[in-house]
Amino acid sequence: MLLFNTTDSDFKEKFSELLGRGAMDIEQVSEIVKNIIKEIQSEGNEALKRHIAKFDRWEVKEDSDLMVDPRDMKKAYDKLSSELRDALHLAYDRIRNYHEKQMPKSWIDFDKAGNTLGQKVTPVDRAGLYIPGGKAAYPSSLLMNAIPAIVAGVEEIIVTTPTPDNEINELLLAAAHLCGITKMFKVGGASAIAAMAYGTQTIPKVDVITGPGNIFVATAKKLVYGDVNIDMIAGPSEIGILADNTAIPEYLAIDLLSQAEHDEMASSILITPSAELAESVRELVYVELAKLEREMIARKSIEERGAIIVTETMEEAVELMNRIAPEHLEVVTANPFDLLPHIKHAGAIFLGSFTPEPIGDYMAGPNHTLPTGGTAKFYSPLNVENFLKKSSIISMSEDGINEIGEACALLAKTEGLTAHEKSVRIRLK
């Protein structure tokens, strides 16, 4: 794990290398992903079957093998232990409550001239949720993607998820049942994204694709954007931590590892003005690493993408973190809320020593599908608006058009659009 200081003579180079990593990776996988998308577009299910055999190691004999039987979802739900069922319901309820607060309303205004102006909010007809499943299954991501779509009122929700060795996770099936999902397809990676973007014989084309995934998934979403809407680029997980010397190093070490264990390409960065804290966290990261079930993945991620930066001041630390714009940002300082006004870019901000990032992954309520690779500078967390669009409502009265019609016709005339001008003028008294 890299540990460096902002006063090092080569700090600028080291920091820009850290920032550039995600972008370089996306460049490299683009070619592979472009080919996968082309094959799905031209061959549909036949290409899907080849990709599943290659990446998920099982043979799709018939098109119907691609579909999960909803009865298996119910069976899995019925078999849950009461503890697990309660945990799933607690997460569902908390996520639902949070997302219900996000629902924008349609509105209509009437003015004195009798004009009506407004905005009508409508859900998309069909949403496609990508639920990752290559290295681990993500029932929590199913809740995080399905619930905002349900709250938004989407009529048809489809799910794609990879099933390595044709094995499907029981909790994922149970979560799907809880969310009322009936259309789930066993395909992952760029193939799943292309299938939902363009449609195949079995998988319907959708209006919006949401959901997180590895670099192949994130790159595919970027490439199909425009032919279909997407939520954001939600790629390999990231954690940034801003901490001062009041932080407990054991907490920070395990929090850094919480994201490293997702993916070899995950990134974990601590920035602190305390050199002492930096040293102890680095030591503890290696101690904890050796105890993890997914040690190999986490070790690669920490060694290749983990970093601890020691700054002169906390202001400098915040400034560097804003440049990184991490997916998750923990602020573990004496008064974390004091720093909040200075934090500009992060997918989700976790404040205080009792707010570990994983509480947001499963239970807190806000969405865990978040922008990565610096895209938190312009993307927001997944939310109900990703499943909605707005139409403007305009109705002019006769008095209303007479009041503003001349000005409108003048602008149209000046643009040289005489049919526009006449369309308005013809209605004026």
Asked if 253 and 288 count as a contact pair (C-beta separation under 8 A), the reply is yes
The smaller minimum CB distance to ligand HSO, of residues 65 and 304, is found at 304
Q: Which residue has the tokens 């997460």?
A: 91
- How many residues touch ligand NAD under the rule CB under 6 A: the total is 32
Query: Is 415 annotated for ligand binding?
Result: yes
**Ranges within 27-86 binding ligand NAD (CB under 6 A):** 32, 55-56
Work out how close the CB of 362 gets to Zn ion at its nearest, in angstroms, rounded to a whole number.
8
* Residue 331 contacts ligand NAD per CB under 6 A: no
Asked if 298 and 257 count as a contact pair (C-beta separation under 8 A), the reply is yes
* Residue 301 contacts ligand HSO per CB under 6 A: no
Find the catalytic residue in 328, 345, 357, 368: 328
Asked if 171 and 84 count as a contact pair (C-beta separation under 8 A), the reply is yes
Q: Enumerate residues 6+ apart whose C-beta is below 8 A from 53.
A: 59, 60
* Residue 361 contacts Zn ion per CB under 5 A: yes
The smaller minimum CB distance to Zn ion, of residues 39 and 361, is found at 361
Q: Enumerate residues 6+ apart whose C-beta is below 8 A from 347.
A: 326, 327, 328, 329, 370, 371, 372, 376, 379, 381
**Ranges within 157-176 binding ligand NAD (CB under 6 A):** 162
Find the catalytic residue in 39, 238, 327, 357: 327
Query: Is 259 annotated for ligand binding?
Result: yes
Phi-psi label, residue 347: left if phi above 0, alpha if psi -120 to 50, beta otherwise: alpha
Which two three-digit tokens encode residue 291? 């105890």
Asked if 193 and 130 count as a contact pair (C-beta separation under 8 A), the reply is yes
Which two three-digit tokens encode residue 122? 């409508």
Query: Is 262 annotated for ligand binding?
Result: yes
Other Cβ atoms less than 10 A from the Cβ of 290: the count is 9
The smaller minimum CB distance to Zn ion, of residues 356 and 374, is found at 356
**Ranges within 249-278 binding ligand NAD (CB under 6 A):** 262-263, 266
User: What whole-number distance in Å separates Cα of residue 332 and Cα of residue 335?
Assistant: 8
Binding at 186: pick from ligand HSO, Zn ion, ligand NAD, none (beta carbon under 5-8 Å per type): none
The smaller minimum CB distance to ligand NAD, of residues 189 and 374, is found at 189
Task: Tell which residue, 144, 135, 132, has the closest CA to residue 95.
Answer: 144
Q: Which residue number is nearest to ligand NAD in terms of Cβ? A: 189
User: What whole-number distance in Å separates Cα of residue 344 and Cα of residue 402?
Assistant: 46
* Residue 327 contacts ligand HSO per CB under 6 A: yes
Terminal alpha carbon distance of the chain: 76
Concatenated DSSP letters of 208-236: EEE----HHHHHHHHHHBTTBEE-----S
The smaller minimum CB distance to Zn ion, of residues 255 and 421, is found at 255
**Ranges within 243-282 binding ligand HSO (CB under 6 A):** 259
Which two three-digit tokens encode residue 124? 């998309």
The smaller minimum CB distance to ligand HSO, of residues 138 and 251, is found at 138
Query: Is 201 annotated for ligand binding?
Result: no
Among 21, 50, 85, 135, interactor with ligand NAD by CB under 6 A: 135
* Residue 255 contacts Zn ion per CB under 5 A: no
Question: What letter would DSSP give residue 53?
Answer: I
Which two three-digit tokens encode residue 139? 């029932």
Among 141, 145, 267, 333, interactor with ligand HSO by CB under 6 A: 141
Q: In what order do the strands lie in the sheet with 116-123?
A: 107-110, 116-123, 388-395
* Residue 231 contacts ligand NAD per CB under 6 A: no
Annotated catalytic, 327? yes
Asked if 235 and 372 count as a contact pair (C-beta separation under 8 A), the reply is yes
Choose the binding region for Zn ion from 131-139, 210-218, 227-235, 357-365 (rule: CB under 5 A): 357-365
* Residue 305 contacts ligand NAD per CB under 6 A: no
Query: Is 280 annotated for ligand binding?
Result: no
Which two three-digit tokens encode residue 175? 């979560």
Where in the sequence numbering do the catalytic residues fall? 327-328
Judged by the rule CB under 6 A, the positions of this chain that interact with ligand HSO are: 138, 140-141, 237, 259, 327, 361, 368
Residues annotated within the binding site are 237, 259, 262, 328, 361, 415, 420
Residues annotated within the binding site for substrate are 237, 259, 262, 328, 361, 415, 420
Residues annotated within the binding site for Zn(2+) are 259, 262, 361, 420
Judged by the rule CB under 6 A, the positions of this chain that interact with ligand NAD are: 32, 55-56, 132-136, 138, 141, 162, 188-191, 212-214, 216-217, 234-237, 262-263, 266, 327, 368-370, 372
